[in-house]
Structure 1
Amino acid sequence: MSMKSSNPLFQPIFEFANQFIAKCEQVYGHKPYIEKDDQWLSPCLCGERDDENDYWQPAEMKNVHSFANVEEALGIKLHPTVIEYFTTIYSEPVPAKTEDGVLELLFAWNEEDFERLQRNVIGHVLMKQKLKQPITIFFAVTDQEDIILSVDNETGEVWAEKVGKLPHKKVADSMLAFVNMLESYVAPPQ
């Protein structure tokens, strides 16, 4: 069974991320680019822009990625949509827009970054446990200072929360509903 068929979030996320690429090409005339770093390669890299920058686009995660190590370290089960979300694509953060403003969907850039992401998830959950708050898993940052978007680990609902505080605004009933309500966003040329 391929990853695509076993992950209900794969198609919506992959398509949304590629809408962002198409919008970049429409607005700027090219794919987004990132500063070259020979020590930080990624399957997202797709050609040289110039001596200092490479073009990038989201890339499907071909290898099977697991959060079993995270679940074992924390002694909890992560909500399935958290795992589905973070195991769809490699990508730079992908900008998006909702009626509440602009945000960036967070993904791993490469294998090493996926491991760093897992450590960040562990740190976030440990902080929530220490504060005796319900467990949430962040997946996006917003244009509002200190406001992140996260998945309630019990219900799978998407919530806005201030870092270290209780979630304060329900954004969507599920990750799939959330992804489906996003609009592609590209900052206007300067």
Structure 2
Amino acid sequence: MPESNSSSFTQFVGKQQAIWRQSGFPSMQLVDEQSGACIEQRLSADTARWNYVKRTPADFSDIETALETKLHSSIKDFYGLFYGGHWTGYFRSLSVQLVGVWDNDDFDIFAKNMISHILMQRRLKQKDSVFVASTNDDMVVVSIDNESGELILERLGQGRLKLLAPNLDQFLQQLKA
């Protein structure tokens, strides 16, 4: 597998944080007065401004054991280096919302969803991929191809629609708020 993209994701986070310090941190709806290290400012019982927070790198070994495969380093970097909310922006003209893992409990939920998603792909004889962003179409997501590390647009249940970027680094470089 190609080398890790952790520095590019860390650079992306740093760039966003610099912008947010000037313009204000993004807000997000909370569930059941949710708390977490990502909260910069609570606006109400169910809304808060959030920021990315560096975390102890996540352990993906249980997920890899359950799936009997190694996860691409880009997937581990995207989900395992920071806690954060859902970042909204554009990849070229495509509106995207990057999926964020809020805290350890949210990571556990994410892990179960990822395992279910990949097992469903295997039943449908599709290549393993892990979604990293939603789009305006609930059935179309941006995913990382687990084998190649390519960022692809895919329709849930049907598979790959097109290549967006050859790797996470190039995808992140093209994102705009």
Q: Please state which band the TM-score falls in when normalised by the shorter chain.
A: 0.7 to 0.9
> Unaligned stretches of 5+ in structure 2?
none
Of 35, 40, 43, which residue of structure 2 is paired with 1:46?
A: 40
Instruction: Tell me what 2:113 maps to.
Output: 120
**TM-score of the aligned structures, taking structure 2 as reference length:** 0.87
* CA distance 1:181–1:19, change in 2 (3 Å): farther
Instruction: Give 1:34 shift.
Output: 3.8
Instruction: Give 1:171 shift.
Output: 0.1
* Structure 2 residue 128 is matched with structure 1 residue 135: yes
Instruction: Tell me what 1:107 maps to.
Output: 100
Q: Deviations over 1:128-176 (max 9, x none)?
A: 1111111111111012331100011111000000011120110000011
* CA distance 1:121–1:52, change in 2 (3 Å): closer
* Structure 2 residue 147 is matched with structure 1 residue 154: yes
Q: Over aligned residues, Cα RMSD in angstroms?
A: 2.3
Give the count of matched residue pairs: 174
Q: Secondary structure at the match of 2:7?
A: coil
Q: 5 Å matches for 1:15-34?
A: 15-18=14-17, 21-22=20-21, 26=23, 30-34=24-28
> Unaligned stretches of 5+ in structure 1?
185-190
Q: Secondary structure at the match of 1:49?
A: strand
* CA distance 1:119–1:175, change in 2 (3 Å): same
C-alpha contact 1:9 1:84 (8 A) present in aligned 2: no
* Structure 2 residue 59 is matched with structure 1 residue 59: no
Identity %: 24
Q: Secondary structure at the match of 1:171?
A: strand
Of 173, 176, 182, which residue of structure 1 is paired with 2:166?
A: 173
Instruction: Tell me what 1:7 maps to.
Output: 6
C-alpha contact 2:9 2:172 (8 A) present in aligned 1: no
C-alpha contact 2:42 2:48 (8 A) present in aligned 1: yes
C-alpha contact 1:20 1:95 (8 A) present in aligned 2: no
Instruction: Give 1:178 shift.
Output: 0.2
* CA distance 1:48–1:152, change in 2 (3 Å): closer
Choose 1 or 2 for highest CA Rg: 1
Q: Deviations over 1:35-67 (max 9, x none)?
A: 566752111112333566433222111x23111
Instruction: Tell me what 1:69 maps to.
Output: 62
Of 83, 96, 101, which residue of structure 2 is paired with 1:90?
A: 83
**TM-score of the aligned structures, taking structure 1 as reference length:** 0.82
Instruction: Tell me what 1:187 maps to.
Output: none
C-alpha contact 1:13 1:88 (8 A) present in aligned 2: no
C-alpha contact 2:40 2:50 (8 A) present in aligned 1: yes
